[in-house]
């Protein structure tokens, strides 16, 4: 376990009003709390009211400003209405974190068209609806802003058994990168962060069925531990702050080296006791 580290001024995000989709639970909730703790006014939206209300209460209890509205990001009108509601409470939103996602394990040949469509609607369309709505408002108000998409460490490689997610996350990255050039003229930065394994109830209950799979997942991380939420939210806060004004169209991976480990043919040696690994390698060295 890594000890939380506080690198920021308390007012790092003062002046930011941030909409976080799927902000009532999991990583979205952690981002909401962290950003509010650094001075952002935070709006959380999602399908279920209860976790949204609980997150808003937690933020307010800690002295922050927050509001919530229920909406399904698949519905563009509902997204616009939710934005109207939270802007009514917090003032104009000038940042967006596209965090809401849908994912489940399935053999691809067993996927129904509707199953594929559900994930496409939530992740690809949902990101488009929220991004377009926030972007239009920023452009109209001549306000600069920051838009972030939470993607995944398999965004480049694709991944077996989560095909809809792999396909749409690549699309979301392309969306952020397209907008980085298109909307730079408006002062809008668009970036993506690709987290590796950060335990959350939602993702782990869907994607990590049982301790054996969890052990396997741990073995793919060179440091043999999952990420702590604060490690991710530090990166999110930096990316969304005025500390990074030249960063746009970027993808930052934060996975403890998991993706590299999986792609490196000899990475398995890192899991052996180093002395025995060296012994094995020395035994292969030609004798003089
Ligand atoms: N395996 C295969 N198909 C599945 C599935 C699974 N585990 N879960 C759902 N589906 C299929 C359903 O059978 C249905 O298809 P059908 O109509 O052909 O039978 C289709 O997906 C839609 O299911 P439904 O439950 O109606 O969708 P929903 O819109 O209510 O939920 C999901 C969307 C499926 C993505 C759901 O998992 C969800 O709401 N996830 C949100 C949170 C999340 O996934 N977080 C993790 C992020 S890493």
Nearest CA to ligand 1 atom 28: 118
CATH code where residue 240 lies: 3.40.50.720
Count of domains observed in the chain? 1
Residues 6+ apart with CB under 8 A from 55: 23, 24, 25, 29, 32, 33, 44, 66, 68
φ/ψ region of 26 (left if φ > 0, alpha if ψ in -120 to 50, else beta) reads left
Supply the pTM of this predicted model.
Answer: 0.96
Distance in angstroms (rounded) separating the CA atoms of residues 288 and 271: 29
Q: Tell me the C-alpha distance between 276 and 274, whole Å.
A: 6
Name the residue of 23, 113, 116, 118 whose CB sits within 8 Å of the most ligand 1 atoms, as the mutation to test its pocket.
118
Any domain includes 269: no
In degrees rounded to 5, what are phi and psi of residue 250? -95, 155
Residue closest by Cα to atom 30 of ligand 1: 118
* Residue 265 located in a structural domain: no
On whether residue 198 sits in a domain, the answer given is: yes
For ligand 1, atom 35: residue with the closest CA:
102
pLDDT at 204: 86
Show pLDDT as tens, one digit a residue, over the chain (288 residues): 788 999 999 999 999 999 999 999 999 999 999 999 999 999 999 999 999 999 999 999 999 999 999 999 999 999 999 999 999 999 999 999 999 999 999 999 999 999 999 999 999 999 999 999 999 999 999 999 999 999 999 999 999 999 999 999 999 999 999 999 999 999 999 999 999 999 998 888 888 888 888 999 999 999 999 999 999 999 999 999 999 999 999 999 999 999 999 999 999 999 999 999 999 999 999 988
Separation between Cα atoms, residue 288 and residue 125, nearest integer Å: 64
Residue 125, domain extent:
17-256
- Ligand 1, pocket residues at CB < 6 Å: 101-104, 106, 112, 114-115, 118-119, 122, 202-203, 206
Per the domain annotation, does 140 fall within a domain? yes
Both tokens assigned to 287:
């004798």
Best residue among 102, 116, 155 to mutate for probing ligand 1, ranked by most atoms within 8 Å of CB? 102
The residue behind tokens 């993607």 is: 151
280: nearest Cα among 250, 85, 272 = 272
pLDDT at res. 109: 98
pLDDT in the model for residue 125: 98
Tell me if 61 is assigned to some domain.
yes
Strand partners, 147: 96, 190
The pLDDT assigned to 93 comes to 98
214 falls within a domain = yes
pLDDT per residue as tens digits for the range 58-93: 999 999 999 999 999 999 999 999 999 999 999 999
Q: Would 287 be classed as within a structural domain?
A: no
Cβ-based burial of 203 (10 A; exposed 0-12, middle 13-18, buried ≥19): middle
On whether residue 262 sits in a domain, the answer given is no
Task: Give the per-residue pLDDT at 148.
Answer: 99
């Amino acid at each position: 376990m890594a000890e939380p580290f506080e690198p920021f001024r308390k007012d790092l995000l003062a002046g930011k009003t941030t909409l976080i989709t799927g902000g009532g639970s999991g990583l979205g909730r952690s981002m909401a709390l962290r950003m509010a703790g650094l001075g952002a006014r935070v709006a959380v939206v999602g399908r279920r009211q209860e976790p949204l209300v609980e997150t808003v209460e937690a933020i307010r209890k800690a002295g922050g400003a927050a509001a919530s509205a229920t909406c399904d990001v698949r519905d563009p009108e509902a997204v616009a209405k939710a934005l109207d509601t939270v802007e009514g409470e917090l003032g104009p939103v000038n940042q967006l974190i596209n965090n809401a996602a849908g994912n489940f394990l399935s053999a691809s040949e067993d996927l129904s068209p509707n199953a594929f469509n559900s994930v496409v609607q939530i992740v690809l369309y949902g990101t488009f609806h929220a991004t377009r709505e926030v972007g239009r408002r920023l452009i109209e108000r001549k306000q600069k802003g920051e838009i972030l998409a939470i993607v995944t460490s398999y965004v480049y490689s694709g991944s077996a058994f989560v095909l809809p997610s792999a396909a749409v996350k690549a699309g979301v990255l392309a969306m952020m990168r397209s907008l980085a050039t298109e909307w730079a003229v408006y002062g809008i930065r668009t970036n993506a962060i690709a987290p590796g394994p950060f335990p959350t109830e939602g993702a782990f209950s869907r994607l990590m069925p049982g301790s054996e799979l969890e052990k396997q997942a741990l073995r793919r991380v060179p440091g043999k531990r999952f990420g702590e939420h604060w490690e991710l939210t530090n990166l999110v806060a930096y990316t969304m702050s005025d500390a990074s004004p030249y960063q746009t169209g970027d993808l930052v991976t934060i996975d403890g080296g998991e993706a590299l480990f999986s792609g490196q043919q000899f990475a398995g040696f890192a899991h052996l006791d180093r002395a025995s690994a060296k012994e094995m390698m020395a035994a292969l060295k030609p004798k003089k």
